[in-house]
Structure 1
């Protein structure tokens, strides 16, 4: 129990020191009371242990005296009676002392309970003070925030005041300038009044000029009508020229169909086609076609695609006139025309590695197939197809 009271005392003092919620007078008074309680408790324990030892010693002595034989019963009786009286006196004293110690122990227990009650009371007061402290701190933070807001508003008002002051100064300067300008305007007004008469005379002259311009506009309108009639006649002539051009193209196609192709070339519709036996890269292949008055083949229709597919061995790919040199992903024919029909393989063109800018024919391997297109590196060496 005493050890527990000491531990409680240590915890109590630590809690009070950490929170700093009690006064210095309480801190000065409490430690001596605790020390006194512990000292008295220890003293009671020592005295109680001494009394118990005396009682045990008395019992041992009485039994020892009773067991021993004495040759002189009268003398032994006298000595035993004195010893018994002495022991009874000492036992009576010890019993009285024990009662006093018990009373003291009860008093100390009551003191401990009272101090424990005081401890709980102070602990509650500490909790209340902590709650009050937290509330005060929150209030302080709120006031600090409000203060900062007021400071910002004050700075904003000061800034607005400075702006208004500066604007007022500018307005005053402008007012002075307007006063000077007013004087100048009065002088200008007088000059304008003098000029008004001159302007009226000029207006009369402009009226006469307007009449002359109206006559010129009438003449220009007549000329415009004549030019419009000439333009309509030119449009009619242009339509006739387009009809003549169509007739000439039809005649030219007929001539091309009737002409014979050179040896080694194969005829299809109005064109002649050549499939090489040697292999070169795309650029060299086109140079070979141009040297023979042709160019790499340009596919304009499905029938033409089927035709060139039949020309090529199914085991060889062949260069055609497709490329995207000028803009990545924008495929054009060598004659500058855009693609109108598309026969790309699945997921093609993909410009694998960023270096596939030339188109090739991938034959289907059957006479009824149409073949497919693929993009490949222009440096690859393979056969080619010319068209003229």
Structure 2
């Protein structure tokens, strides 16, 4: 037995040192590959977590950058809107500043409650009653501005009344031209106003129509005509007159220092490619009055030599608006006074007198 025990001990002790002996645990031998696997998984999870954290931080940075860019874009957009609005206001100011009607002379078919024609060219787009023109309920009521010069008109802008009756302008016509005959209503038409809502401003394109007069007329019915503002935009037609001639509106005028009979004066104008002056408006009458000093007399292109009592201009058109001296004309009373001279005054726009055609006076020529 002793030998057997010694032999067993020797067998155990003789185990090769190079052999791995697994230590005992409570439940037996411990498995080293399981621990290594856990460590590997833990390292992978940590690495994954680190990568996710890094990606999260990168995404947060990207988000912050995008938010910053968004805010910058919003600021830029807001600035652009402000600039746009500012430019729009500047354009409106330039339009008002470039409104050639501001220096014109306005008239209308009648006056209602002291609402004058000039209220439509005061540069204000106020739409309440106190800032607008107003006629009586006329048949074919009209409003007209004399621009005092001929313009190539690009557009006309109208502001309608805001507190009442916007439909009154429905069907109104805008007419532009150089004739004041029939209050300018016979001039070519730029546009027909279908409707402008209450208090609104509409612009009508006129394609550079040339004219001195801009007229708004409501044809074919009895109506009150009300305009709160009328703006005219265009450029001077820029007529070039011969040297020594004077310019007003679309016409050129030539004044003389010598005197001749009416027929000789007419012939002289014809030789200059012109005619004896034809006066179509009070504004032109006033301009002609200023060409000579008070007390002077000058021949104009008006005569009744063809038919006694029927006064016509040298271009064959009948006389419609006259500025006769009190008690004139008198040729119908038997006197041989068939030609008309202009009496120049110091203050009023002057007046006309029928005289004998063989009398000698200065004269005024006109080129349209």
**TM bin (shorter chain):** 0.3 to 0.5
User: More helix by proportion, 1 or 2?
Assistant: 1
User: More strand by proportion, 1 or 2?
Assistant: 2
TM-score computed with the length of structure 1 as normaliser: 0.35
TM-score computed with the length of structure 2 as normaliser: 0.36
Q: Which has the higher contact order (CA 8 A, sep 6+)?
A: 2
Of structures 1 and 2, the larger Rg is shown by: 1
